[in-house]
Each structure stands twice: as structure tokens, then as C-alpha cells.
Amino acid sequence: MGYQTAVEDGLNVFRHWFMWSAIERRPGHYDWDNYDRQTHLTAKNGIKTIIDELTHTVPDWAYRKFAHARQVRRTGGCQRRAEQKELFQARPAKGDIGLLVIPEA
């Protein structure tokens, strides 16, 4: 479905998930092309964009670099090590993950 069709169907707001793993595929190299294109198309069609960031979509390089980091649940408990890589690559259940903790070395 194109944006014009969405407008014809009454859509006027679009939530766009900005994922860290899609933006910074290599350390320090940011690729905003897809996000720029999408926000340009929404603006061109009169649709407002809500940007929502998914910082827990950690790129593979960061997972390797910060292997000692742990994702902490909102309840304060840490994810088990075996679950972490899977959680870094997929969106966890709403409200499940509170923050990513990188302890000092």
C-alpha cells in the first residue's frame, strides 16, 4: 500500500520505528537513507510522522563489543545469558526490557 492510498483511506499519522541495528551497521557509520526516504514520503503526502526508537535492537557488532552487557527487566532482574542475543535481535514483549546496562570494566 502506498502513502497516497493510505491518505485516501484516512491515515494522517505514521509511527516509524527507528532501529539502532538498521542505522549503525558498523561502529560509527550511520545510514539514514531509508529513514530519510520514508519521512520525506510521509511529508510529501501530508502524513505526520511519529519517530519511535528501538534502542534494544542492538547491532551484532555492539553485541560482540559489549558482550559483558546485560539487558535488565523493568522488575530489576537480568536476562539469562542464553536469552540475550535473541532479545537483542528481536523486539521483546512490550514493557519487558527496561534498559541495557554496560558495567564498567
- The pLDDT profile of the chain, 105 residues, written as one tens digit per residue, is 588 898 999 999 989 888 888 999 999 999 999 999 999 999 999 999 998 887 667 888 887 888 777 666 666 666 554 454 454 444 444 455 455 555 555
Rounded CA-CA distance 11/47 in Å is 7
Closest alpha carbon to 84 in 73, 95, 74 = 73
pTM for this model (two decimals) = 0.60
